[in-house]
Amino acid sequence: MGLKEKKRIVLIGAGNLATHLGHALNSAGHQVVQVYSRTKKSATELATKLNALPVTSLNKLPEADIYIIAVKDDAIAQVCKSIKTNGIVIHTSGSTGIDVIKRCSPNAGVLYPLQTFSKKRTLDFSKVPLCVEATNHKTERELLLLARGLSENVTVVDSEKRKTLHLAAVFACNFSNHMFAVAETILKKDKLPFSLLIPLIEETTAKIKSGSPEKMQTGPAARQDVTIMKKHLKMLGKDKQLQQLYSLVSKNIIKNKA
């Protein structure tokens, strides 16, 4: 990376996403100058790793090229009240429109990484799909340049489509994980280890790389095997909520096959 593209960045937030993003920015040759968090401990923890200054007040932010707001969705608006700059200001939320941060700068934008982050897990950031949006063309160009330095997978996505992506991600990630959790609960009652299901789950995920999940659908509901579905509902007997879940998901699968 040439010296011209090296950006001075203020990172607002020190959570899972901010941590992964901070390291990716550092690796790409940018300089994270400050890390803000409400708590001294979190700010210091991340700032130390990024060779940046930890701060717990938004009142004394330094001059920077880019301000990245990576806090919880419902805290973005509050954070915005403390920022007024001509630099680029972006947030990283899937479910928040770009309009929320327009008051901070004439050059506002969004950089939404479509991934689930945990501080403890290492992750190849270059494979994370990054969705970019900006209030003007110059900012969009700058953000695309920044994003392409971090990931191979960069797309321009407007606020409406980003919200759609976020909703789809809830089903694909959070809700599928809940299905794994239910499976774990069912096994626990019979003292069976969850690890027995890992190869099956891995193959289920591998399959959708080679074809649409709807076409890959298998199981009792997909083949409308009423006898087995009835047996399963009976087995879940004591847990009315799980019975309801089993029925509803099966009904949806049957509807899709029709």
Residue from 40, 62, 184, 224 in contact with a copy of itself (CB under 8 A): 184
* Nearest approach, Cβ of residue 215 and a copy of itself (Å): 9
Strand ranges in 121-206 using DSSP code E only, listed in sequence order? 130-134, 154-156
Collapsed DSSP state (helix, strand, coil) of residue 235: helix
**Closer CB to a copy of itself, 66 or 236, in the complex:** 236
Residue list 3-42, contact with a copy of itself (CB under 8 A): none
Residue from 2, 137, 210, 258 in contact with a copy of itself (CB under 8 A): 210
Q: Does 91 bind a copy of itself (CB under 8 A)?
A: no
Report DSSP state, residue 178.
H
**Closer CB to a copy of itself, 118 or 136, in the complex:** 118
* Nearest approach, Cβ of residue 55 and a copy of itself (Å): 25
Residue list 94-113, contact with a copy of itself (CB under 8 A): 95
Amino acid at 78: Q
**Contact at 8 Å (CB) between 9 and 65?**
yes
Residue from 48, 119, 175, 224 in contact with a copy of itself (CB under 8 A): 175
Taking the C-alpha atoms of residue 187 and residue 126, their distance in angstroms, rounded to an integer, is 36
Left, alpha or beta for 122 (phi > 0: left; psi -120 to 50: alpha)?
Answer: beta
* Nearest approach, Cβ of residue 48 and a copy of itself (Å): 25
Q: Does 58 bind a copy of itself (CB under 8 A)?
A: no
Q: Does 159 bind a copy of itself (CB under 8 A)?
A: no
Q: Does 145 bind a copy of itself (CB under 8 A)?
A: no
Residue list 228-247, contact with a copy of itself (CB under 8 A): 228, 231-232, 235-236, 241-242, 244-246
Q: Does 156 bind a copy of itself (CB under 8 A)?
A: no
Q: Does 224 bind a copy of itself (CB under 8 A)?
A: no
* Nearest approach, Cβ of residue 80 and a copy of itself (Å): 16
The 70-89 contact track toward a copy of itself, x by CB under 8 A, reads --xxx---------------
Q: Does 251 bind a copy of itself (CB under 8 A)?
A: yes
State in Å, rounded, how far the first CA of the chain is from the last one. 53
Number of residues that bind a copy of itself (CB under 8 A): 90
Exposure of 113 in the CB half-sphere (CA atoms within 13 A): 26
The radius of gyration computed from the CA coordinates of the chain, to the nearest angstrom, equals 22
Left, alpha or beta for 103 (phi > 0: left; psi -120 to 50: alpha)?
Answer: alpha
Taking the C-alpha atoms of residue 101 and residue 81, their distance in angstroms, rounded to an integer, is 9
Taking the C-alpha atoms of residue 154 and residue 129, their distance in angstroms, rounded to an integer, is 6
**Window contacting a copy of itself (CB under 8 A); options: 31-39, 83-91, 140-148, 178-186:** 178-186
Taking the C-alpha atoms of residue 32 and residue 9, their distance in angstroms, rounded to an integer, is 5
Which residue carries 């900006």 as its tokens?
Answer: 134
